[in-house]
């Protein structure tokens, strides 16, 4: 593939020139596969296997600064073999970030430089509009345009009702009911693809993301797996992130299903995802109203009159609580990291002074 088909632009060319300094042994590329610190990168008309340079690892102050699928990178080729070293990551136009699963307070970047996000949810026993809210937040915070895809309509007794429930949480976001196994509704996805466009698939395990990839690509590039009918649960099918070229133009990023959706930061995206709640807030008596026990709260009044669904407000408040708790843990982590860096710098200064005194 040509780099222009992968989204290479004049702006990115300028960023590459600044990062490479015009050195002839450096080349632009895009990370297509990332697996256990091993990378497959697309370059002009070829693919190279790559590893991260030790200097880049040393400069990166946190894991989130290292390459991920979708990143544009600077590559130094190793001899005549299709192997290279990643020496720098170009500034990202946007990225999916979430809190790492578990108790660790650290950012995990899922993918970078995404234009359109297909939020995939199955209309089965695991259907949850609340989960769609979370994925919409992830997509919007990453600077991408979200599109909701509802799969497995044959397992839903009331598809119009489910679509209406999704519309309540998605607002103006496009919502499509599709059947990737049969091809029903899939042709309309071409409207979001095209040369230079990068789309990502975001959704839980077993919702049909890999089947969608296979349909769009026209061949089985991702292994598919059935889920249990009793509870709609299943194991991850995709085990690594990969950039998949589309014959008709554009590329897809397939990501492993997220068993645990913990946001990293979503302040800017909250206004878009909860526009119905945010638009009511100016009518509250207090400018810092938390929409809980405060008097003359316009948001609570809307719930009482039926203008706003109680579940919608509950979801908004739960998100606020989650983000405030995460911000507090991030502050603690930042203070600990500052102390660690100051200690390292102090030791280095002491060592230099000792060397000078000899």
What is the third-level CATH fold of 95-254?
Rossmann fold (3.40.50)
Lowest mean pLDDT among 56-60, 66-70, 196-200, 287-291: 56-60
Using 50, 70 and 90 to split pLDDT, how confident is the model at 291?
very high
More confident site: 261 or 159: 159
| Angle ∠(144,238,120) on CA atoms, nearest 5 | 40
Q: 93: Cβ–Cβ under 8 A, 6 or more apart, which residues?
A: 112, 113, 143
Q: How many CB atoms lie within 10 A of CB 213?
A: 24
Q: What is the CATH superfamily name and number for domain 3-89? A: Nucleic acid-binding proteins (2.40.50.140)
Average pLDDT along the chain: 81
**Mean predicted confidence (pLDDT) in 160-165:** 94
How is the chain split into domains, by residue range? 3-89, 95-254, 274-358
What is the number of alpha carbons within 13 Å of residue 243 lying toward its C-beta? 31
Distance spanning both ends of the chain, measured CA to CA: 58
Q: What does the chain come to in residues?
A: 358
CATH of domain 274-358: 1.10.40.50
pTM of the predicted model, to two decimals? 0.69
**3-state SS of 88-155?**
EECCCCCEEEEECCCCCCCEEEEEECCCEEEEEEECCCCCCHHHHHHHHHHHHHCCCEEEEEEECHHH
What's the CA gap between 189 and 181, in Å, rounded? 14
Strand partners for 357: none
| DSSP letter (8 states) at residue 282 | G
φ, ψ at 199 (rounded to 5°): -115, 150
32 pLDDT more than 90 = yes
């Amino acid at each position: 593939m040509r780099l222009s088909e992968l989204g290479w632009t004049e702006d990115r060319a300028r960023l590459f020139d600044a990062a490479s300094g015009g050195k002839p042994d450096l080349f632009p590329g895009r990370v297509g596969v990332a697996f256990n610190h091993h990378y497959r990168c697309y370059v002009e008309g070829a693919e190279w296997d790559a590893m991260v340079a030790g200097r880049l690892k040393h400069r990166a102050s946190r894991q989130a600064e290292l390459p991920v699928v979708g990143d544009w990178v600077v590559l130094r080729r190793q001899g005549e073999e299709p192997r290279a070293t990643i020496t720098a990551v170009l500034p990202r136009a946007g990225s999916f970030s979430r809190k790492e699963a578990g108790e660790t307070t650290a950012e995990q970047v899922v993918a970078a430089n995404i234009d359109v996000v297909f939020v995939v949810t199955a209309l089965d026993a695991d259907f949850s509009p609340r989960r769609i809210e979370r994925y919409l937040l992830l997509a919007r915070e990453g600077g991408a345009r979200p599109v909701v895809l509802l799969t497995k309509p044959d397992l839903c007794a009331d598809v119009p009702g489910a679509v209406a429930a999704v519309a309540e949480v998605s607002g103006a976001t496009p919502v499509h009911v599709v059947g990737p196994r049969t091809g029903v509704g899939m042709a309309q996805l071409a409207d979001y693809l095209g040369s230079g466009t990068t789309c990502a698939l975001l959704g839980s395990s077993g919702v049909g993301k890999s089947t969608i990839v296979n349909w769009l690509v026209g061949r089985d590039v991702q292994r598919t797996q059935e889920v249990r009918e009793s509870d709609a649960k299943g194991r991850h099918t995709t085990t690594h992130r990969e950039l998949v070229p589309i014959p008709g133009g554009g590329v897809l990023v397939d990501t492993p299903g997220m068993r645990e959706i913990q946001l990293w930061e979503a302040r800017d995206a909250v206004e878009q995802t909860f526009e119905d709640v945010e638009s009511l807030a100016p009518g509250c008596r207090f400018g810092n109203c938390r929409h809980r026990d405060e008097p003359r709260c316009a948001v609570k009044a809307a719930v009482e009159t039926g203008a706003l669904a109680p579940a919608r407000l509950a979801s908004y408040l739960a998100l606020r609580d989650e983000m405030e708790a995460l911000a507090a843990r991030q502050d603690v982590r930042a203070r600990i990291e500052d102390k660690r860096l100051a200690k390292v710098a102090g030791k280095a200064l002491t060592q230099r002074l000792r060397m000078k005194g000899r």
